[in-house]
Amino acid sequence: MELHIRRYQASDAAIVWELHNLGLQLMGAHLGNGPRDADVLAVEDYYLTTGGEFLVGEVAGLVVVMGGLLPTGEREAEVKRMRVHPDFWRRGLGEQLLLALEVRARELGLTRLHLDTSVQQAPAQKLYLKHGYREIARGQIAQLELIYYEKWL
């Protein structure tokens, strides 16, 4: 199975929205759609025109993985919206996308990446720890306990 990673295009909007929601629902981390999802509905505005990045990965022409770099400072960004279609879980696709985002972050001159994930998302926690992210805090949004991570590039 070959993964082709590329930059988000406007034609990806519907599948990105679907993948965003599906991933959260299946992990028990979906709080319902609202203002905090605005970036997923306007990827170009939030990621691409602000100096960030948003990548999708295709297998046999189908988008099955996604993730972005949302600028949060002069040389830092938040890793956001990492999702893998459940039919492709545990095949290393999320890891490939994370590594591609890190390469792109270095190309953009970023020196620090940070992110959060919920305690329900154990596979994500393992992925981030495996790649050198360290826990820096915990927090709460509604009923979700969040773990905050960072990595210096």
Average pLDDT value over all residues in the chain = 92
The reported pLDDT for the residue numbered 68 is 98
The domain 4-111 having CATH identifier 3.40.50.10420: the answer here is no
> What is the distance between the alpha carbons of residues 126 and 114, in angstroms, rounded to a whole number?
15
Q: Report the C-alpha dihedral over residues 136, 68, 82, 93, rounded to 10 degrees.
A: -120
pLDDT of 112 over the 70 cut: yes
Domain boundaries, the chain: 4-111
**What pLDDT score does 8 carry?**
98
Is beta strand 112-118 parallel, antiparallel or unpaired with respect to 144-152?
antiparallel
Query: pLDDT, tens digit, for every residue of 23-41?
Result: 766 666 555 666 788 999 9
- pTM recorded for the entire structure: 0.93
**So what's the pLDDT on residue 33?**
64
Residue with tokens 């959260």: 24
DSSP-assigned letter for residue 88? G
SS3 101: helix
Q: How confident is the model at residue 100 (pLDDT cuts 50, 70, 90)?
A: very high
What are 41-65's pLDDT values in tens digits? 999 999 999 999 999 999 999 999 9
| pLDDT at 13 exceeding the cut of 70 | yes
CA 87/CA 62 separation, integer angstroms:
12
Is pLDDT larger for residue 1 or for residue 96?
96
Mean pLDDT of 83-88: 93
Please, what is the angle between helix 93-107 and helix 122-130, to 10°?
A: 50
Helix residue spans in the chain (DSSP H): 13-26, 38-41, 43, 93-107, 122-130
Give me the DSSP letters along 14-52: HHHHHHHHHHHHHTT----SSGGGHHHH-HIIIIITTT-
